[in-house]
Structure 1
Amino acid sequence: MRASLIQIAVDPDESVDSRRRRAAALVREQSGADLVVLPELWPTGAFAYDLFAAEAEPLVGGPTYEVMAEAAADAGVWLHAGSIVERGAGFDGPLYNTSLVFSPAGELTRTYRKIHRFGFDKGEAVMMAAGAELVTVPLPEATLGLATCYDLRFPELFRGLVDAGADVLVIPAGWPERRRAHWTLLARARAVENQSYVLAVGTAGTHADVRQAGHSIAVDPWGEVLAEAGSGEQVLTVDLDLTGLGVTREQFPALKDRVLGLAEPRR
């Protein structure tokens, strides 16, 4: 399976509409890929909290939905369009950090509302409602498991996705430069412990004066880095050997040796 990771730059001087058009053009350029992935909240910037309410979109029919559906169909690819600020039902409905996945026909096939919201009682953590469902996406070549940015720090979420059949873990993010070492470390850890491919796609540029890490990364089930971007806007294209993944799980069957349901520790 060929995957293209689009590490788009977020420039506060560029309009959201302009960035949508530019991202759609980048998607169309990946017509030879099977799967294309964009980062978290790339229309607004993950730290541009003052734009969240004004730029919030309905789940279906909003401006990002429309341009991404068309781009997926034009390129003939499965498109994980990163995430948007979703406005829930009603004029004053809750906000969600919601990922959109389109089929090669441009049809919305899955959505994922981010479960772990970042901010420690500030920012996203108080402005957005939490998702509550694990989401997998069956593709012809593989099953994707969906997570977003801060979710990367919570291994139990990924184990749940693997138990649900995921073998490629897809993680769009708006990860800050000052914690870039954690980004690559955690991406490799999630790959090794779940014997799965990890596609972790960040943004370049700056969100509300928060410098972004970039360094999107593709990791194989042994934790080996297949490709890693730099700090600027870049497209990574990698080929994933899903047959090899099955061999890895057979030759080193660690997942079956998990011990579940342990007793509570003595106090």
Structure 2
Amino acid sequence: MRASLIQIAVNEGESVSSRRARVADLVREQDESDLVVLPELWTVGAFAYEQFETEAEPLDGPTYEVMAEAARDAGVWLHAGSVVERAGDGSLYNTTLVLSPAGELAATYRKIHRFGFDQGEAVLMSAGESLTTVELPEQTLGIATCYDLRFPELFRGLVDAGATAMVVAAGWPARRRAHWTLLNRARAVEDQSYVLACGLAGTHAGVEQAGHSLVVDPWGEVLAEAGTGEEVLTVELDPAKVADTRRQFPALKDRRLGR
């Protein structure tokens, strides 16, 4: 399976509508891939809290419409990053959209762990409650978002639900980039799964983004890593690698807690 991660630069001089159109064109360019992954809250910026209310949208809102068309044009599975979702009761969620090659909404995931320590996202957003996996022809994706990365129990839950590849969409700050790399590799090793970690680039709301999107294999080896600017990573994932790793080193069978 060929996967492309698009590390999007989010800067304040570009409007949300312009960025949607630009990113849709980037998705269309990945028509030789099977899966395309976008970062967290790339429409507004993960730290642009003052825009959350004004840019909130329903699941079938403008981001879905533009990304569904791009997924159909490219013929790819599209993890369209996350949007600020406005639910029917007015609550806001940090919600991931996963689209099929036909442009249909295949799955959603509302971010469970909100960042902010009683500020920012933790106050403005409601928390999701359910894990999400998505069945692709050659991999089962487990979906996580940014701060979720610090909670290994979420990833073990995804493994138990059948995940063989974890997708982590993020708006991770540059000042904690070392944690980003370390935690993604740790999740891959302990869960013996691929990790496809796609972050933002650029600076928004005064917060420089880490960039350095990466793809890690089930042994913890980094297959590809981006720099700090806008970039596309394309990697071939071996569908047999996860099963081979879990058979050769069956650590997951020795779990005693949490099952």
Partners of 1:38 and 1:238 in 2: how far apart? Answer: 15
Change (3 A) 1:118 1:105: same
**Structure 2 vs 1, CA of residues 243 and 208 (structure 1 numbering), >3 Å: closer, same or farther?**
same
Change in CA separation of 1:43 and 1:261 when aligned onto 2, cut-off 3 Å: closer
Check if 1:181 corresponds to 2:212. no
List structure 1 segments (4+ residues) > 6 angstroms apart after TM superposition: none
In terms of Rg, which structure is larger? 1
Q: How does 1:147-166 map to 2 (within 5 A)?
A: 147-166=144-163
- Equivalent position of 2:131 in the other structure: 134
> How far is 1:260 from its partner?
2.3
**Aligned residue in 1 for 2:44:** 44
| Counterpart check, 1:248 vs 2:245 | yes
Distance 1:131 1:121 in 2: 16
Residue 14 of structure 2: aligned partner: 14
2 CA distance for matches of 1:95 and 1:260? 34
Q: Report if the CA contact (8 A) 2:7-2:230 is conserved.
A: yes
Contact 2:71–2:99 at 8 Å: present in 1 too? yes
AA paired with 2:12? P
Please list every run of 5 or more consecutive structure 2 residues that lacks an aligned counterpart in the other structure.
none
Q: 1:99 to 1:261 in 2, by over 3 A?
A: closer
Question: Counterpart in 1 of 2:106?
Answer: 109
1:261 to partner: Cα distance? 6.0
Q: Distance in 1 between matches of 2:43 and 2:258?
A: 43
2:120, 2:194 → 1: CA distance? 31
Which residue of 2 is the match for residue 59 of structure 1? 59
1:201 corresponds in structure 2 to 198
The answer to whether the 8 Å contact 2:35/2:79 transfers is: yes
Does the 8 Å CA contact 2:218/2:241 hold for their aligned counterparts? no
**Pair 1:259 & 2:217 matched:** no
Aligned match of 1:220 = 217
Alignment pair present for 1:29 and 2:17: no
- CA–CA distance in structure 2, aligned partners of residues 207 and 241 of structure 1: 36
User: Over the residues paired in the alignment, what is the CA RMSD in angstroms?
Assistant: 0.9
Describe the superposition over 1:193-219 as per-residue Cα deviations: whole angstroms up to 9, x where unpaired: 000000000000012010000000000
SS in 2 for 1:6: strand
State percent identity of aligned pairs.
Answer: 76
Say whether the 8 Å CA contact 2:111–2:145 is kept in structure 1. Answer: yes
In structure 2, C-alpha distance between the alignment counterparts of 1:77 and 1:14, rounded to whole Å? 26
The count of residues paired between Structure 1 and Structure 2 equals 259
- Separation of aligned partners in 2, 1:261 and 1:246: 22
Q: Is 1:69 aligned to residue 45 of structure 2? A: no
Q: In the alignment, is residue 236 of structure 1 matched against residue 236 of structure 2?
A: no
Alpha-carbon distance in 2 for matches of 1:261, 1:24: 41
Aligned residue type for 1:3: A
Match of 2:115 among 103, 113, 118: 118
Query: Secondary structure of 1:13's partner?
Result: coil
Q: Is the 8 A contact 2:201 2:228 kept in 1?
A: yes
Aligned to 1:204, the other structure's residue is in SS state coil
**Cα offsets for 1:210-234 (capped at 9, x unmatched):** 0000000000000000000000000
Unaligned residue ranges in structure 1 (runs of 5+): 263-267
